Amino acid sequence: MTGFATRQLHAGARPDPGITPRATPIYLTAGFVMDDFDHAVDHFSTGDGYSYTRVANPTNEAVEEKIADLERGAEALLVGSGQAAVAITILGLLEAGTHLVSASQIYEGTRGLFLDNLPRYGIETDFVDDANNPLAWEAAIRPETRALFAESIPNPRNEILDIEAIAAVAHAHGIPLIIDSTLATPYLVRPLEHGADIVIHSASKFFAGHGAVLGGVVVDNGGFDTSSTLFPHLTRQTRTGGPSFAERAGGLARITYLREVMALRFGPTLSPFNAFLIGQGIETLSLRVERQSANALGVARWLEQQPEVQSVDYSGLPANPYHALAQRYLPNGQGSVFSFTLAGGTDAARALINALEVITHMTHLGDVRSLALHLATTSHNQRTAEELDRAGIQPGSIRLSIGIEDLADLVADLDRGLAAVRALSV
Ligand X SMILES: Cc1ncc(COP(=O)(O)O)c(C=O)c1O
The CA-CA-CA angle for residues 6, 7, 9, to 5°, reads: 70
Which residues from 110-149 bind ligand X, rule CB under 6 A? 110
From start to end of 112-213, where are the E strands? 124-128, 145-151, 177-180, 198-202
Phi, psi angles (nearest 5°) of residue 310: -80, -40
* Shorter beta-carbon distance to ligand X: residue 59 or 105: 105
Among 147, 214, 355, 414, binds ligand X (CB under 6 A): 214
Least Å from the CB of residue 389 to ligand X: 22
Least Å from the CB of residue 270 to ligand X: 11
Which residues from 148-167 bind ligand X, rule CB under 6 A? 151, 155
Which residues from 377-396 bind ligand X, rule CB under 6 A? none
Residue 83 interacting with ligand X (CB under 6 A): yes
Among 8, 24, 57, 81, binds ligand X (CB under 6 A): 81
Closest C-alpha among 218, 105, 100 to residue 160: 105
Name the closest residue to ligand X (Cβ): 82
* Shorter beta-carbon distance to ligand X: residue 214 or 355: 214
Rounded-to-integer distance, Cα 266 and Cα 354, Å: 42
Report the side by side order of strands in the sheet with 397-401.
Answer: 309-313, 337-342, 397-401, 371-374, 360-361
Q: Name residues whose C-beta falls within 8 Å of residue 32's C-beta, 6 or more positions apart in sequence.
A: 49, 50, 51, 52
* Binding segment (CB under 6 A) for ligand X, from list 106-114, 119-127, 310-318, 386-394: 106-114
Q: Is the torsion defined by CA of 347, 348, 350, 354 positive or negative? A: positive
Q: How many chain residues interact with ligand X (CB under 6 A)?
A: 16
* Shorter beta-carbon distance to ligand X: residue 145 or 202: 202
Among 216, 344, 395, 417, binds ligand X (CB under 6 A): 216
* Shorter beta-carbon distance to ligand X: residue 24 or 89: 89
Residue 239, class by beta-carbon neighbours within 10 Å (0-12 exposed, 13-18 middle, 19+ buried)?
Answer: exposed
Rounded-to-integer distance, Cα 264 and Cα 189, Å: 30
State how far Cα 330 lies from the chain centre.
16
Among 124, 180, 197, 413, binds ligand X (CB under 6 A): 180
Least Å from the CB of residue 212 to ligand X: 12
* Binding segment (CB under 6 A) for ligand X, from list 105-113, 119-127, 253-261, 415-423: 105-113
Residue 182 interacting with ligand X (CB under 6 A): yes
Q: Determine how β-strand 216-220 pairs with β-strand 177-180.
A: unpaired
* Shorter beta-carbon distance to ligand X: residue 113 or 249: 113
Q: Which residues bind ligand X (CB under 6 A)?
A: 81-83, 107, 109-110, 151, 155, 180, 182-183, 202, 204, 214, 216, 365
